Amino acid sequence: MNAIDLAYYPGCTLSSTAREIDAAVHYVCRALDIHLTALPDWNCCGSSSVHAVRPQLAVSLAARNLFQAQSMGRDLMVMCAGCANRLRVAANQLRHDDTSRRVNREILGATLDRDLHVFHLMDLLPHRLKEKPYVGALQRSLKGLRYVPYYGCLLAAPPELKHYPKLHGSMEAVMGRLGAETRPWGYQAKCCGAFLSVARPDIVAPMVDDIMDQARLAGADCVVTACAMCQLNLELRCQADKRMPVFSVVELLAYGLGASAWPDWFKKHLIDPLPLFRGKLSGR
């Protein structure tokens, strides 16, 4: 057993609208000996509106979280695609931009000195599931489930983050271990509409319908996401006749690793996935 110790940043979404994903993240990490310790006093990463109207304030908000991880002496793990993006942009600026270093030292009394790495859980999972002690960890299969992997736009990072590995392919690796069937499609990285879902639902609803139509045309029974905001937008803005269950990849992995709480997680979905799940996996 080679345990990995990481600081954990839950973020606003996983501690409110997507609590089931937070629970699944903890289950998966326990099963794979990834030890998570939450940051002692985390704050908003600066995502959504803060960076949209005050980009440098957003860097300072992210910096406060990064400094906490630095004093814990650990690398940081996030599950939210938005948070991963903001924290990485900030870490990059705090390391390479002299003005940013100086201003944030003035405000927060620290500089980012250690080569602190910001992981997204999906950076770790494909490799971890191939390691010897965990190859046999899967107790349940998703054989018969046809899905399309939906990464959304936030994992298409800004240019200064090109040195981070792309996550595309990581969901297929995890879902492949679970025995599910990937359906090919061209909408993997299409934007879900993000926060315009609230402010301009008239723009977002057709975008979401288009994504769901394409998923159905690809022959999928469901959409699997790596981003809680994508999941919520697809569920919330999709027309009644285009509805199709949307899962988080960690929920399904936690199910495969033997979690018993999965029916509670699925009950929180806005599009009920239980009929599909029971229908596909009954008799096994």
Partner 1 sequence: MTDPIDPMEIDVKPDGDADRFLNIVNHISRQNISLCWQCLCCSGGCPFAVHMDLLPNKVIRLVQLGYGRAALRCRTIWLCVGCHTCSSQCPNSIDVAAIMDALRQLAIREGIAAPEMDIYRFHKFIYASVERHGRLNKLEAMVHFKLGAGKIFSDLAPGLKMLTRGKLELLSQKVADRDELGRVFAHYNRKRRSFDTHERD
Q: Which residues in this chain contact partner 1 in the complex, by CB under 8 A?
A: 12, 15-19, 41-44, 48-57, 60-61, 64, 85, 93, 97, 100, 103, 106-108, 153-154, 156-160, 162, 189-191, 193-196, 198-201, 203, 207, 236, 267-268, 270
Q: Which is nearer to partner 1, 153 or 261 (CB)?
A: 153
**Shorter beta-carbon distance to partner 1: residue 142 or 254:** 254
**Of 72 and 103, CB closest to partner 1:** 103
- Minimal distance in Å, beta carbon 12 to partner 1? 4
Tokens representing residue 232 in the block: 């919520």
Inter-residue contact 220 to 145 (CB < 8 Å):
no
Q: What is the side-by-side order of every strand in the sheet holding 76-78?
A: 34-38, 4-9, 76-78, 118-120
* DSSP E strand stretches across the chain: 4-9, 34-38, 76-78, 118-120, 146-150, 181-182, 222-225, 246-248
Min dist CB 203 to partner 1, Å, is 6
| Complex with partner 1: residue 267 or 278, whichever CB lies closer | 267
Residues 6+ away with beta carbon under 8 Å from 268: 19, 20
Q: Nearer to partner 1 by C-beta: 134 or 150?
A: 150
Q: Residue 203 is encoded by which pair of tokens?
A: 């723009």
Measured CA to CA, the distance from residue 167 to residue 165 in angstroms comes to 6
Residue 109 zone, left/alpha/beta (φ > 0; ψ -120 to 50; rest): left
Strand partners, 119: 77
Closer residue to partner 1, CB minimum distance, 27 or 265: 265
Minimum CB separation of residue 253 from partner 1 in Å reads 21
Q: For partner 1, which is the closer residue by CB, 60 or 170? A: 60
Sign of the C-alpha dihedral computed for residues 25, 27, 33 and 39 taken in this order: positive
**CA 28 → CA 135, 182, 211, 255, 271, distances in Å?**
14, 21, 28, 9, 23
CB of 252 within 8 A of CB of 175?
A: yes
Q: Least distance to partner 1 from the beta carbon of 221, Å? A: 22
